[in-house]
Each structure stands twice: as C-alpha cells, then as structure tokens.
Amino acid sequence: MSMEEYLEALRGAAEELRSVDFEVPIIFHDDADGLCSAAIASTALDRAGIKHELYCVEKLHPAIVKLIHSKGYKLYIYLDIGSGRADLIMKSVEERDSRAIIVDHHDPRRVESERIIHLNPELYGFSGETDVSGSTATYLFMRGLSRLDDAAWMAVVGSAEIPGDLRSLNRVPLEDAVRIGDVEVRRARGRERYLIKFLKKPWNKLSSTLTAMGSVGYYRGGPYLAVESLKRRAIEEDRVKEFEELRRKRFNQAFAILAKRGLKVDGMVQWFHLGDLFKGLGSKTIGTFTSMLSYRKICSPNKYLIGFMRFEKSLPRIGEIAGEWVKASVRTPKRVADEVRAGRLPPASELTVKSAERVGGSGDGHSFAASALIPARREEDFIREFNRLIEEFTRS
C-alpha cells in the first residue's frame, strides 16, 4: 500500500459522498480527536449542502450499533470510531440494505463488503499511533468535499493525543493551518509546540478542554456544544470550567480512594473498580483517569493497568441499550509499553479485544491503550482471560 493508494481511496469516497441527496448521520467518538473529527466533517457537509445529524458514541458494542442502525439511514459515517468493530457495522448495513464510511485510526478489523468504505490509514501502511489522528484522517477525506483550510487547526488539536512532534500525515493539516495563519509552531526544550493563534491557546490545552466537554459533559450535551464551539472558532469558557471542575473533583475522590485501598493485583494485571463514582460522566473519563494513574507511584510499571466503571444504559440522542454493562479501560505503564514495543508482550488492543469477546463483550483500541464494554459481574473473568492470553503469548 502507498500514500497514492490512500489518497485515491479518499478521493473516491468523497466523490461518492458528494452525490448524496439525503440526510446522513455522523457517528463520532467523545474525546478531543472525535469531536474535532465531527466538527471538520460537519463544516464540510454544511458547505456541500448535505444535511446531517450528529451522534456521539463512547464505545461501539453490538447493542449500540443495533440502536444506531435502527434509525434507518441509507449511509452512515463513522469518525474516529468504528474500525475496531467494522464487523458489527458490516453486519448491520448488510441486514438493513444501507452503507457505511468508516474514517478511523484505531487498530482496524479487515472486512470485505461492497457496503463498507473503510478509510483507515493503517490499511495503507501508516501507523494510527504515530502518523495520523482520527481528525487528520477526517480532514484529508472531507477536504475532497469542500474547501477546508480554515478547519485544519481542528485536526492539529485532535492530533494532540499522539505524543511527540506531529509527523507524517499529521503534518498536512498542520502545514495548511500555519499557511493561513491559524497555527504558529514554536520550539521549546527540543520539541515543537503548536499555538492556536486566534484562541491564544496551546493545542494540547485545547485537547484537554474538549475531552472534558465531550466525556465529562457526555450526559449534559457536552459533545454537541464542543462541536458547535469548534465550528464557531470559540470556546465557552464558563461551561468548560464547569466540566473541568467536575472532573477534577471526581478524579481527586478516585485518587484518594485508591491511595487508601491500593490496586488489586492478579498475575500480570493490576486493576481497580470505581463502581458508580463517575456516574453522570461519560465513560471516557475512566480512560483519562486510568492514563493519569499509570504515571503515579501507586501503579507498578511492570504490569498492565485496568480500570472499571459501571456503564450507563441511556445514551443521549441514541437510546437505551439492553443489559447491564461495565466499561474497562486498559493502559500499558512504562515498562510494559517498552516490552510491547519490543514484541515481548502483546499489545493492549489484542488482549482487550479477545478477552472482551470471550466474556460476551466488545473491545478495541491501540497497542498501548484500549477499552471494552463487558457484561456486569464478568470483570474477574475478563482479567482471567487477559492473563491467560499473556501467558500464551510469552510461551510461544
């Protein structure tokens, strides 16, 4: 695969999208990358005169995909989410005689279907963990639909989740944003820093702000407020402070609880369960919290870290899913990440996907961070499968 093949696939998909004369849904993730993806796409669709509706999703799961596709659209657009469960999307579009375009950078499942256009750069030889964010992939796709130079800065902000200087495909929107004057590149301590000039804020601060709006504010209209704010090129500071203060308060409570009782340890896994502590917040918050915890002294650098929280059944704009579910977030502390990088330990995504499926759940993610929805009260079974898969990998 090559850059030219990827760009040709993007052009073909954009040409197909340009021809639609019906409303399309945008299904997007609730973190900064997903929110920026949705805002970029919504801007492009507005300019192309294509009606669309927004649906923010925290996690894909058979019950959630079923709800989304029960809405009866002819074409579904998934942004920064979908690749890990492309099989579920394929099943739904084939059952309902519809189609789907998936624009994502998470580890993909390969599917063969004329009803699916799968625009994941990883399928063309790029790395979704270092080369391209979901918002960059969306920008590259949607600029084939309409002029988008003034939306390039959003892809820069969405790319902040990828560590280090922006590289490879992520340089494309960066260069566009710098050229029109929306972004300034500065150097500090040997690294690039990106300033969003008209907001006078660094890209990583904006990323954190947006993730708070989308995840902490998931049940308070936060994702849709964030998308509209991005499109207006203005952030509502009062609402942001509200979401960030709520996140700070709940995170401090969680850190205090874990400092007192410690983490549970089982084989190569250290884990904790917050139950309903984050109730009312989106489940992305357990991922953010688990990432922060992975750098604290309480966390061993030598074991995978897993955090659990109860998942709320009612999803804004989407509906209520059947069953009782728990969100699991998996992170690789420093030494585990080094071993994964060296090929001596399995990627978090592989372990999470397989363990979730074996207990009746669904997972996806990257090599160093992954998540899943699993049935309630199957947490210890999930950990048992997780450890068993690690043992199989290290013996082979």
- Sorted by sequence, the CB contacts under 8 Å of residue 153 that are 6+ apart come out as 173, 177, 182, 183, 196
- How far is residue 65 from each of residues 62, 89, 111, 310, 344, measured CA to CA in Å? 5, 7, 16, 19, 35
Which pLDDT score is estimated for 55? Answer: 98
* For range 286-304, the mean pLDDT: 96
Which pLDDT score is estimated for 307? Answer: 98
* For range 26-41, the mean pLDDT: 97
Same fold yes or no, 3-232 and 267-395: no
Beta bridge partners of 188: 191
Q: Which of 91-100, 136-145, 360-369 has the lowest mean pLDDT?
A: 360-369
- pLDDT-based confidence at residue 366 (cuts at 50, 70, 90): confident
At the topology level of CATH, where does 3-232 sit? inorganic pyrophosphatase (n-terminal core) (3.90.1640)
Average pLDDT of the chain is 95
Q: Which CATH architecture has domain 267-395?
A: Roll (3.10)
Domain chopping of the chain, boundaries = 3-232, 267-395
Q: HEC states along 55-102?
A: EECCCCCHHHHHHHHCCCCCEEEEECCCHHHHHHHHHHHHHCCCEEEE
Counting residues of the chain whose pLDDT is more than 70, the rounded percentage is: 100
Q: Is the pLDDT of residue 137 over 90?
A: yes
Which tokens in the block code for residue 266? Answer: 């089982």
pLDDT, tens only, 155-201: 999 999 998 999 999 999 999 999 999 999 999 889 999 999 999 99
- pLDDT-based confidence at residue 364 (cuts at 50, 70, 90): confident
More confident residue, 342 or 284: 342
Which pLDDT score is estimated for 1? Answer: 55
Which pLDDT score is estimated for 59? Answer: 87
Which pLDDT score is estimated for 2? Answer: 78
- How far is residue 327 from each of residues 178, 205, 209, 297, measured CA to CA in Å? 39, 26, 22, 24
Which pLDDT score is estimated for 248? Answer: 94
Which pLDDT score is estimated for 309? Answer: 97
User: Taking the alpha carbons of 115, 119, 120, 121 in that order, is the dihedral positive or negative?
Assistant: positive
Q: Which is nearest to 227 in space by CA: 11, 88, 15, 55?
A: 55
> How far is C-alpha 220 from the geometric centre of its chain's CA atoms?
19
Contact 348, 304 (CB under 8 A): yes
pLDDT, tens only, 44-81: 999 999 999 999 998 888 889 999 999 999 999 999 99
Residue whose tokens read 């988008």: 148
